[in-house]
Amino acid sequence: MDQSTEMRLRDKKILVVDDDPEVLESINQALQLEGALTQTCADGNTAVRVCEVDPPELVVLDMMLPKRSGFLVLERIKRLPNPPRVIMVTANEGKRHQEYAENLGVDGYLLKPVRLERLVTLALELFESTK
């Protein structure tokens, strides 16, 4: 993304949850370059706590997490009074997992390795659909 790119996610609060430090950093950096206000964490329990205490507008959530799986995080945060939108990212290609995530209320589902431009585009689409 070049310097002239408009900051399309300016001031959007986004939580990035992934236990792989490289994936976490690359997603976080891509969102910040678009103007997002990001927080990061590497386990499911912390993700739930952040969503309860300082709710983001969007969560980019890994499926396989220590302490609490992405599915359990998704299930819990979708029951909050004003639940954030959730994009689940996973290396698991099974349709069963995607269907389960959809039943729990996931708003987007992307396979790893995630193309960062696709992630940003999906985030923009989700924010546009809430206007």
What CATH number is associated with residue 35?
3.40.50.2300
Integer Cα distance of 92 and 95 in angstroms:
9
Strand partners, 13: 37
Domains held by the chain: number: 1
Structure letter (DSSP) for residue 11: T
Tokens 């310097």 sit at which residue?
A: 3
* CA distance linking residue 2 with residue 65, whole number of Å: 33
Angstrom distance (rounded) from CA 68 to CA 45: 6
| Range list of H helices, 34-115 | 44-53, 70-77, 95-103
Element (H, E) at 118: helix 116-129
Residue 38 lies in a domain: yes
Q: Look at residue 6 and tell me if it is in a domain.
A: no
* Residue 34 resides in a domain: yes
- Dihedral sign for Cα 22, 26, 28, 32, please: positive
- Predicted confidence pLDDT, tens digits, the chain (131 residues): 444 457 999 999 999 999 999 999 999 999 999 999 999 999 999 999 999 999 999 999 999 999 999 999 999 999 999 999 999 999 888 899 999 999 999 999 999 999 999 999 999 999 998 66
Give the range of the structural domain holding residue 97, as residue numbers without chain letter.
13-126
Whether 17 maps to a domain, the answer reads yes
